């Protein structure tokens, strides 16, 4: 752990800051004291600069690692599919078949409709999210320090301005983006299966209803307010649940890593804690991937449900 020039708080802040690229507005005072006379596209040197870059800033580390893990997932499963045999399967084929069967069983039990998209989407979510979560078990300083070494020795960057987060699911931009994609599919299939009128009726005629048309008309605003909140809560809870759990787990790893700078005995104690937490964290990263998949299947099933029971 490289904490020679960092305090505990700055070490934590450094590990929680993304490698962000975006446009700094004119008049921005940078960490070295210079003031920009015109807008500048650059890498942020602090979390404050990243915040000033606004909506179009890109977390390069999050994007890069998530795309890399997605590619690994794709090529791994594709290679198994191309070389699959009906004879004695290898360990990799056994593992992939077990995962596919596990996903198919969950889809069959929770989604009693016909849609060729749901099972592949559930499989992608389960494995991709698991891979992203799994990065939390990599030694916390290993990849960030390797990136810093490259940036300093090759690019001549200031080591204090080089950031790199390797766990994409600790970035709400990733978790909420995935949740929004699921939400768009929910809206699309809800309207396709129920019609726009049926979808709006679902939002405005429940949970309060009455056979009296005048009374029902009075209920519509209250029903819409309740059901709209319930609808919007789906992507928000889906994305924030994954982010919150993974962010908390990452924070614990960071706090444990600080113990290595407290001497030999504290270092040994910290190593023991880190091992125990890593073993427990295997359950967390698996459970969070599973929950994200299950909720996606359930929400898709609700989009197809045209019954009147709510």
Q: Could you list the active site residues?
A: 237, 241, 245
- The contacts of residue 192 (CB under 8 Å, 6+ apart) are none
Peptide bond into 160 cis (omega under 30): no
- Radius of gyration, CA atoms only, the chain: 24
| Residues 58/21, Cβ–Cβ less than 8 Å | yes
Q: Which three-class secondary structure state does DSSP give residue 44?
A: coil
**Residue in 128, 141, 138 with CA at minimum distance from that of residue 169:** 128
Q: Give the H or E element holding residue 213.
A: helix 213-257
The whole-angstrom separation of Cα 244 and Cα 257 is 20
Q: What are phi and psi of 23, to 5 degrees?
A: -105, 120
Query: How far, in Å, CA of 46 to CA of 168, rounded?
Result: 19
β-strand partners of 40: 24
State the DSSP H helix or E strand holding residue 125, giving kind and residue range, or none if neither: helix 118-134
Distance (Å, whole) CA 115 – CA 296 = 14
Alpha carbons 307 and 28: distance in angstroms, whole number? 56
Query: 190, 199 in Cβ contact below 8 A?
Result: yes
- Within 13 Å and on the Cβ side, how many CA atoms surround 284? 23
């Amino acid at each position: 752990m490289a904490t020679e020039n960092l305090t505990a708080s700055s070490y934590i802040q450094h590990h929680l800051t993304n490698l962000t690229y975006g446009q700094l507005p004119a008049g921005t005072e940078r960490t070295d004291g210079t003031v920009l006379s015109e807008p500048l596209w650059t890498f942020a040197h602090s979390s404050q600069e990243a915040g000033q870059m606004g909506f179009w800033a890109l977390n390069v580390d999050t994007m890069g690692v998530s795309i890399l893990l997605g590619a690994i997932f794709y090529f791994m499963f594709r290679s198994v599919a191309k070389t699959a045999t009906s004879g004695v399967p290898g360990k990799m084929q056994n593992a992939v078949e077990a995962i596919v069967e596990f996903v198919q069983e969950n889809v069959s039990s929770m989604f009693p409709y016909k849609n060729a998209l749901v099972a592949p989407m559930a499989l992608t979510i389960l494995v991709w999210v698991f891979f992203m979560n799994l990065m939390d078990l990599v030694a916390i300083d290993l990849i960030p320090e390797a990136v810093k070494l490259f940036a300093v020795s090759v690019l001549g960057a200031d080591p204090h301005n080089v950031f790199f987060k390797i766990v994409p699911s600790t970035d709400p931009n990733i978790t909420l983006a995935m949740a929004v994609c699921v939400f768009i599919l929910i809206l699309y299939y809800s309207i396709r299966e129920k019609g726009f009128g049926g979808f709006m009726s679902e939002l405005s005629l429940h949970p309060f209803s009455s056979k009296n048309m005048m009374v029902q008309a009075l209920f519509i605003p209250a029903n819409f307010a309740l059901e709209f909140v319930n609808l919007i809560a789906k992507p928000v809870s889906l994305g924030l649940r994954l982010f919150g759990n993974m962010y908390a787990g990452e924070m614990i790893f960071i706090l444990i890593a600080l113990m290595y700078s407290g001497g030999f005995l504290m270092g040994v104690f910290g190593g023991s804690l880190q091992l125990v937490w890593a073993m427990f964290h295997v359950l967390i990263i698996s459970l969070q991937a599973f929950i994200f998949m299950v909720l996606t299947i359930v929400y898709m099933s609700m989009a197809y449900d045209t019954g009147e029971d709510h």
